[in-house]
Amino acid sequence: MDQKKEQQVGNENRKDEQLESFRKQNTGPDKAMEDVNGTKVANNQKTLRAGKRGPLLMQDFHFYKKQSHFSRERIPEKVVHARGFGAYGDFELYESMKDYTVAGFLQEPGTKTPVFVRFSNFIGNRGSKDTAVDIRGFAVKFYTEEGNYDSLSLQFPVFILADAMKFADVTHAAKPNPRTHIPQATVAHDNFWDYVVSNPESAHMVMWVMSMRGRPRSWRMMEGYPINTFRFVNESGKSTFFRLVWKPKLGVHSLLLDEANLIGGVDPDFHRRDIIEAIENGAYPEYELGVQLINEEDELKYDFDILDDTKLWPEEEIPAKIIGKLTLNRLMDNFFAEEEQSAFNPANLVPGIEFSNDPVLQGRSFAYRDTELYRQHSANYEELPVNRPLKQATNNQRDSYMKYPIDTDPVHFHNNSQAGNTPAEVSPEEGGYENYPKSVEGHVTREHPSDSFSDYYTQARAFWNSLSMPEKQDLVESFSYHVGSVKSKELRQKAVEMFANVDSGFAGMLAENIGVKPPQNTNVENDKSYPSLSQLNSPHSAMTQKVAVLIGNEFDGKEVRDTLDVFEQSGVVFELIGEKLGPVICSKGNEFEIDKAFLTVHPVLYDAIYVVGGSAGNQMLFDQHISDFVRMQYMHMKPIGVAASGVQYLLNTEDNNMDGVVVAEENGDFANQFINAIAQKRFWDRT
């Protein structure tokens, strides 16, 4: 292996080593308080006044420095994807892609590349809830040896528009009403649905947003699709079109609409807390990277345009070749310095990766950098620790706000003779970035690249065809909730007519639910379906599922201990929930420590419950809490395990088929059966 490859294989900690030089510790026994000028501070609690009852003196420079800094702590939030959270990790290459690209981090199997990943919500502001029905970002910054490569994904394979010119319009439509500034973090309002029915290319992505995919259970259980079409370019100069997909090892799983709404109030930080706890507990989120490849000569062979971001590349027709794995294994040290100041740009490329003529990608290549120049008020934002490449960049760019490296060169222009014309250009053979020499011809026009851009419903119908019955029922409910919140009956009717083009039966159910006439339109002809689009075909596992153990005193300690041991062996996370914090004592005298009291938790925060029961100081209130958990978990079709001491809490009536309820009484295999139920996650046939 040559020296460059050895560096790549061993560089997974290089970003962390670089960040170490920027870390600062302000607390400790030897830390004296100093102001920003280095002057020691004698009093940081009271302002300087003219007499005990007198006014503040302007000469109190300690107060002025402290308050003026505080007044400027925030920077403008992002217009979209304002609410986010980040984590560090590494990407390990399984299979070489050197036949397709010269990108260095994709050459040698085993190469590990440090990464920073930011998850985000599209619509809401920085303080909104995690669980909103929304588009989510999944941005990955690869700190490669050849510079930073940014790959920006959504949790859907399609976008809501086919040309960047409309990006401001759809964002304005999705955001709160400009007069009232409500509603926050939702598209359940007239403006958004007016945009949808007026711009039919939005139909496909709206189907995805309204589906379960718009409500991920966790960022750890969410796919990521960069949506745009790029090119790989290999050593011979051959171009191959590609799209990427991040596939979570835990599978793709979601919240129900009712759950998402409730969790947003109970714990607005639900997704953040989930990934923090996972990383802290060593259950590192993992995603495999799939690459879809299309030869340049096959660009026009499909029944969709590969440059159209409102169309997906079906994996059944264009397989996703798994080439590597992303692992998130370290949390940030400082949210503002790392997450809030992080910046991603699809134009941050490395040799071997190039743009296609994708109209949305062409616009994004301008928009992202322009946004950060406004937000961070400086062309130097890429010198911030979280954004800077592994190697110090050398160039002739100078000055601007917050320029803290001290450039000592007396010459800062190109071409020059005084410094031997350095920094020098680098040939493509030595690693310099070279644009692919694609053929460009034609008249200046604002036309779509092809007529298939105007086929708005064929793939949307394929998505509908691909869903299981529970997913279809959920989609009807989600559409009914959002379109049903639209005040204009005319817009509700237009929405029904629009989505009748996708499926007339679906639109008919929607019409009945939102109080408008049945649709006159009928759906397009398309019988295709793709199993890869249904979440029910995603991997299912009990790993990291969160179980509430509802427990009091006087229970069978052996049964509970054996069950909790199986939880631990299976990677299930559990919390003991009781009347109050402190120990509970089983019938044999052994103690278990309560993690949380009923007062501080809610049923929707758990994937399953294990009902142990027992005695309590306030038995009536204790029983009511357990009954509330059982009722809600049963309603949300989640697994329920019942200990021998907890059978009294079962909802056992002729109307309940008890599907997904596992009882320990006279059941020697209870723990394993319950683990299988937890892995299944939902019991859609439950009554």
* pLDDT tens-digit series, residues 588-619: 888 999 999 999 999 999 999 999 999 999 99
Q: Are the beta carbons of 553 and 561 closer than 8 angstroms?
A: no
Q: How many CB atoms lie within 10 A of CB 370?
A: 10
CATH 3.40.50.880 at 540-680, yes or no: yes
Q: Rg of the chain's alpha carbons, rounded to an integer?
A: 28
Binding residue per annotation — 14?
no
Q: Whose CA is closest to 275, among 223, 226, 328, 325?
A: 328
Residues of the chain with CATH 1.20.1370.20: 455-536
Which are the contacts of 209, defined by CB distance < 8 A and separation ≥ 6?
133, 134, 135, 156, 160, 187
Residue carrying the six token digits 């007062």: 599
Binding residue per annotation — 364?
yes
Using one digit for the tens of pLDDT, what is the confidence trace for 249-262? 999 999 999 999 99
CA distance 533 to 73: 44
Residue 12 pLDDT level (bands cut at 50, 70, 90): low
* Six-digit token string for 79: 């217009």
The single-letter code of the amino acid at 25 is Q
* Six-digit token string for 483: 């379109």
Binding residue per annotation — 561?
no
**CA of 110: how far to CAs of 5, 30, 105, 323, 605, in Å?**
10, 44, 10, 11, 38
The predicted pLDDT at position 6 comes to: 45
Rounded to 10 degrees, the C-alpha dihedral 609/612/618/622 comes to 20
CA distance 608 to 291: 35
Residue carrying the six token digits 């029983």: 623
Percent share of the chain, pLDDT over 70: 98
* Phi-psi domain of 377 (left: phi exceeds 0; alpha: psi -120 through 50; beta: other): left
CA distance 580 to 594: 7
The single-letter code of the amino acid at 607 is D
Cis, bond preceding 672 (omega within 30 deg of 0): no
Least confident of 80-84, 216-220, 247-251, 588-592: 588-592
| Dihedral pair phi/psi, residue 321, rounded to 5° | -80, 120
pTM for this entry: 0.95
* Homologous superfamily assigned to 455-536: Catalase, four-helical domain (1.20.1370.20)
Residue 679 exposure: Cα atoms within 13 Å on the Cβ side: 15
Q: Are the beta carbons of 535 and 596 closer than 8 angstroms?
A: no
Residues of the chain with CATH 2.40.180.10: 84-383
CA distance 293 to 581: 56
Residues of the chain with CATH 3.40.50.880: 540-680
Q: Which class would CATH give 84-383? A: mainly beta
Q: Is 575 exposed, middle or buried (0-12, 13-18, 19+ CB in 10 A)?
A: middle
User: Residue 11: pLDDT above 80?
Assistant: no
CA distance 660 to 375: 50
Residue carrying the six token digits 């937000």: 375
CA distance 24 to 303: 56
The predicted pLDDT at position 184 comes to: 95
The predicted pLDDT at position 179 comes to: 95
User: Residue 654: pLDDT above 90?
Assistant: no
- Residue 312 CA from chain centroid, whole number: 19
Cross-strand bridge partners of residue 147: 144
* Phi-psi domain of 431 (left: phi exceeds 0; alpha: psi -120 through 50; beta: other): left
Q: Whose CA is closest to 287, among 344, 336, 347, 219?
A: 219
The single-letter code of the amino acid at 67 is Q
User: Residue 9: pLDDT above 90?
Assistant: no
Which stretches does DSSP call E strand in 99-216?
A: 112-121, 136-144, 147-154
Rounded to 10 degrees, the C-alpha dihedral 100/105/109/111 comes to 180
Q: Are the beta carbons of 506 and 472 closer than 8 angstroms?
A: yes
* Six-digit token string for 324: 């590597």
Q: Whose CA is closest to 134, among 192, 191, 86?
A: 192
Question: What count of residues does the chain have?
Answer: 687
Using one digit for the tens of pLDDT, what is the confidence trace for 160-184? 999 999 999 999 999 999 999 999 9
* Residue-averaged pLDDT of the chain: 95
Q: Are the beta carbons of 583 and 594 closer than 8 angstroms?
A: yes
Q: Whose CA is closest to 118, among 233, 270, 28, 224?
A: 224
Using one digit for the tens of pLDDT, what is the confidence trace for 200-211? 999 999 999 999
In the predicted model, what is the mean pLDDT of residues 356-382? 94
Q: Are the beta carbons of 436 and 150 closer than 8 angstroms?
A: no
Cross-strand bridge partners of residue 216: 254
Cis, bond preceding 518 (omega within 30 deg of 0): no
Least confident of 33-42, 153-162, 306-315, 602-611: 33-42
The predicted pLDDT at position 2 comes to: 47
Binding residue per annotation — 463?
no
The predicted pLDDT at position 8 comes to: 42
In the predicted model, what is the mean pLDDT of residues 283-295? 98
Binding residue per annotation — 167?
yes
CA distance 209 to 177: 20
